[in-house]
Amino acid sequence: MPLVHRAFKYKLNPTPEQDRVLWWTLTRCRELYNAALQERRDAWRMRRVSLNSYDQKAELPGVKEARPEYKDIQSQVLQDHKAASAGRQVVAVPPHHTSQDCSRCGTRVPKSLSVRTHICPNCGLVMDRDENSANEIKRRGQRLRGYSGIPE
């Protein structure tokens, strides 16, 4: 069965403040894109080296550190787009205490960063600290979306 794609066009009517922010963000993105393109051209012209996008993407945290104006540009845009195209939604979950709260029962189990195993005294859950944190982030995201975990 062929897959049907639908396209929609919407006219944006931003407020003056939204228009200013949109213009500012798109200008920064254009500057960054043009700088990356120039870097590729210079690398080829001067050293006959071909840069790939992965090398340039790896430099972005350093660019954001060196140029504070780029810190305001969200790095989440591509991830949000990919999720939407897969029929999914990205939910921002506050990261506070995710490695200390038990992903099974929610009990807070304080531990230092050197402790790599989560052991819950309340429900007995034992697992890697990072795995527990990932499960807790997932649980919080589902709760924010209104998912109770009980099939209807």
pLDDT in tens, 39-72: 999 999 999 999 887 778 778 788 888 888 877 7
Q: What is the pLDDT of residue 128?
A: 95
Cα torsion for 5, 6, 7, 10, to the nearest 10°? -150
What is the pLDDT averaged over residues 133-138?
93
Judged against a pLDDT cut of 90, whether residue 144 lies above it is answered with no
- Which residue type does 75 have? S
Split at pLDDT 50, 70, 90, the class of 152 is very low
Query: Is the model more confident about 77 or about 7?
Result: 7
State how far the Cα of 124 lies from the Cα of 28, in Å rounded to an integer. 50
Q: Extract the tokens encoding 139.
A: 């649980």
What is the pLDDT averaged over residues 125-135?
95
What is the three-class DSSP state of 119?
Answer: strand
What is the pLDDT averaged over residues 83-102?
84
Judged against a pLDDT cut of 80, whether residue 149 lies above it is answered with no
Split at pLDDT 50, 70, 90, the class of 110 is very high
Q: Which long-range contacts (CB under 8 A, 24 or more apart) does 56-63 make?
A: 63/32
CB distance 35 to 55 below 8 Å: no
CB distance 56 to 39 below 8 Å: yes
Q: What is the pLDDT of residue 76?
A: 67
**What are the residues facing 12 on neighbouring strands?**
none
What is the pLDDT averaged over residues 93-97?
88
State how far the Cα of 51 lies from the Cα of 152, in Å rounded to an integer. 51
Q: What is the pLDDT of residue 93?
A: 87
Judged against a pLDDT cut of 60, whether residue 137 lies above it is answered with yes
Q: What is the pLDDT of residue 122?
A: 96
CB distance 135 to 103 below 8 Å: yes
